[in-house]
Amino acid sequence: MTENNPDPKEKIIDGRLIAEEIEASLIEKIAGLKVEGIIPLISVILVGDNHASVVYVKNKERSARRCGILSKKDVYPESLTERDLINRIEELNNDPLVHGILVQLPLPRHIDERTVMEAISPSKDVDGFHPLNTGKIFTNNSPFYPCTPYGIIKMLDYYGISVKGKNCVIIGQGNIAGKPMALMLINRLATVVSLNIFTKDIKSFTQKADILISATGKMHLIDESFVKKGSVVIDVGISNINGKIYGDVNYDRVIDKVSKITPVPGGVGPVTVAVLMENTVKSVMMKKNKDLRKHA
């Protein structure tokens, strides 16, 4: 391909490759921990039989196995009460062998997600959703950053894409991706615009974006008319239509206009899972250092 028309493959931000490198670095660290008799353990709680949640949990279990992290899974019917769920979380909080606790979202409507997230010990909150950990994003010193936005930061870093001084537009203000993503980009001196369902004339913002991040879950919301030529597009959205996965971005219509883009699947998802494993190992190291200080 010519310089003006690069091979589309060169534009791909390969999440699977980045995830493999993160996992490889963790394997080495975990091997060292096991020599000391420390085995990282993540406990996953799944309530109900939401198909997407079941798939996500399996992906996390596979990543844990590859890294050498033990994972155990509690599966409960959708009828589980909020009180019983919190009781189980408290048991895991008090279990010294458990380093990470993950409650797979979404939860049934009768269970309040905020109450559940607050019940998880901040030191075991490897998903990064406890308010003490999310609050520390403001001062850029959270022990656990939410996995999806932290994974996106890692992807940008891997490909040498600086956000400093760049116009970064985020579509979606959810607690899992959009909100923490905005703060993390601000911490890196980006100029950030956050859009929501009430934003008028979305294109007037997205067409100026050096980096566009879409996290809406609306299939093919973004086509070439939304993006600036030479921009970077990060697709966080996932839609499952008749068993096939689609992103927010119409990849085929956008690929010729952008400089870099994440595919769906194979983009943000694998890195999000790898970062979860990284957070679990970080939890192990935090506990180890705390124990050393206690016995010093």
Q: Which of 11, 104, 179, 235 is catalytic?
A: 104
| C-alpha triplet 80, 83, 86: angle, nearest 5° | 95
Active site residue 104: yes
Q: Which of 11, 124, 125, 127 is catalytic?
A: 127
pLDDT of 291 reads: 82
Predicted confidence band of residue 3 (pLDDT cuts 50, 70, 90): low
Distance CA 164, CA 37 (A): 42
Averaged pLDDT for residues 147-155: 98
Closest CA to 279 of 32, 16, 64, 17: 64
pLDDT of 243 reads: 85
Q: What structural domains and CATH numbers belong to the chain?
A: 37-121 (3.40.50.10860), 146-269 (3.40.50.720)
Closest CA to 209 of 184, 191, 236: 191
Distance CA 183, CA 264 (A): 24
Closest CA to 202 of 188, 191, 216: 216
| Average predicted confidence (pLDDT) for the chain | 96
Q: What dihedral angle (degrees, nearest 10) is formed by the CA atoms of 15, 13, 248, 104?
A: 20
Active site residue 127: yes
pLDDT in tens, 33-42: 999 999 999 9
Predicted confidence band of residue 73 (pLDDT cuts 50, 70, 90): very high
126: which 2 tokens? 């490897």
Q: In sequence order, which ranges of the chain are alpha helices (DSSP H)?
A: 15-35, 51-67, 82-93, 113-119, 131-135, 147-158, 178-187, 202-206, 251-254, 268-294
